[in-house]
Structure 1
Amino acid sequence: MGNSCNYIPPLSFSPVVGTDVSLYRSGYPMPLNYAFIRDQLHLKTIIYVGDKEELSPEYDEFLRQEKIQFRRIHMVSCRDPDIHERMNEVLRLVVDVDNYPILIHSNKGKHRAGVVVGIIRKLLQGWSLAGIYQEYGIFSGGLKGEADLEFITMFETKLAVPRKKMPDFAIF
């Protein structure tokens, strides 16, 4: 019980949803974040939205040791030619309770993670665009990603979701 471990969350870490299911966002986890992730989040799935092709050996080993399912969704920006399909890939994972708890991360936890969370807020939680834009601004440090915000605004999906797999927070 006398564990004096200081837990350090990843860059830009924040809960997105924290009811019966837990969904988090962050930047790329570093070794100093692993104890926090292991002991506090108890993740089943990590979804990486970014452009790095290789995981660091430490991260790869951590995922293997903790038996965390790692899903890489290659994303450079919301201008990628196949961005709608990539976003649907992320949504398919997020609307399946079997994948929870989930951490969605990009490199810095700002723009790509912000777009994904914005889409989740819009489609699954019914947030207003004003609220989504405000949250995006907080995480991006006030740097307005006009293309990102436009993408969130315009994004629609025809994703079919089995009701029994849907997390409690989703109004989809």
Structure 2
Amino acid sequence: MKAVSVTDGDGNGDTCRTIGVALVSGSSPTGEAYEYDEQYTPPFNFAMVENGIYRSGFPDSTNFSFLQTLSLRSIVYLCPEPYPEVNAEFLRSNGIRLFQFGVDGSKEPFVNIPEDTIREALKVVIDIRNHPLLIHCKRGKHRTGCVVGCLRKLQKWCLTSIFDEYQRFAAAKARVSDQRFMELFDISTFKHIPKEFSCLKR
């Protein structure tokens, strides 16, 4: 039997969730009853986007146990910096494929969002052969928010809903340039959208 407790805490619009799982029944090899506790800590700004698609900020070693519960096949990494070796080793040991799309994290007013790069990342995201999949940048706000927002356009979400979701994660750091990019993003070039995405309505 499992007892699961979830605690939320936020500050400055940030979301952090720790899930404690206690196995309250079982026995040791000697026949004695035991209790086992383990903490699962999701990465900063973690959330489920769709079945088999997740988003977050940059995971660190404290998040690895939680990520293992997702049975990930792929990670879409949206930063230009090399993936840290400790993270790369975690991916290798768990058979997770890394897709890196180096999008610069410059702040406004000098924001240059490369549409072709976002388009290529989105192709990986909608390919169900890559699922379960985690999308992340550094904080899970702007670059990740743009990819998820463009995915929502493929799903025929209205702009109000797309912007509401983006702002929920970006909070006070929301960028007009990101929202403008999502608004103008052309989805007409996506000719073969998997039915798992094309039939979803908002």
In which range does the TM-score fall when normalised by the shorter chain? 0.7 to 0.9
Aligned residues: 161
In structure 1, list runs of 5 or more residues that go unmatched.
Answer: none
Are the aligned partners of 1:95 and 1:170 in contact in 2 as well (CA < 8 Å)?
no
- Alignment partner of 1:137 is 2:167: yes
> For the residues of structure 2 that align with 1:45 and 1:167, how far apart are their CA atoms?
20
Deviates more, 1:87-96 or 1:97-106: 87-96
As a proportion of its length, which structure holds more strand?
A: 2
Task: Write the letter of the residue equivalent to 2:191.
Answer: A
8 Å Cα contact 1:96/1:167 also seen in 2:
no
Identity of aligned residues (%): 32
* Structure 1 position 133, deviation (Å): 0.8
Q: State the TM-score, normalized to the length of structure 2.
A: 0.74
Counterpart of 1:12 (choices 45, 63, 69) is: 45
Q: Does 1:30 align with 2:42?
A: no
2:197 aligned residue? 169
TM-score normalised over the length of structure 1 = 0.87
Specify the SS of the correspondent of 2:183: helix
Pick from 157, 162, 170 the counterpart of residue 127 of structure 1.
157
Residue in 1 that maps onto 2:95: 67
Per the alignment, residue 129 of structure 2 pairs with: 98
**The residue matched to 1:160 in structure 2 has which SS?**
coil
Larger RCO (CA under 8 A, 6+ residues apart): 1
* Aligned CA-pair RMSD: 1.7
Partner of residue 50 from structure 1, selected from 79, 98, 102:
79
Counterpart-to-counterpart distance in 2, 1:169 and 1:154: 20
Residues 109-148 of structure 1, C-alpha deviations (whole Å, 9 max, x = no match): 011101111100112x211111111111110123220000
CA-CA distance at 1:44 after TM superposition: 0.3
| Rg comparison, structure with higher value | 2
Partner of 1:118: 149
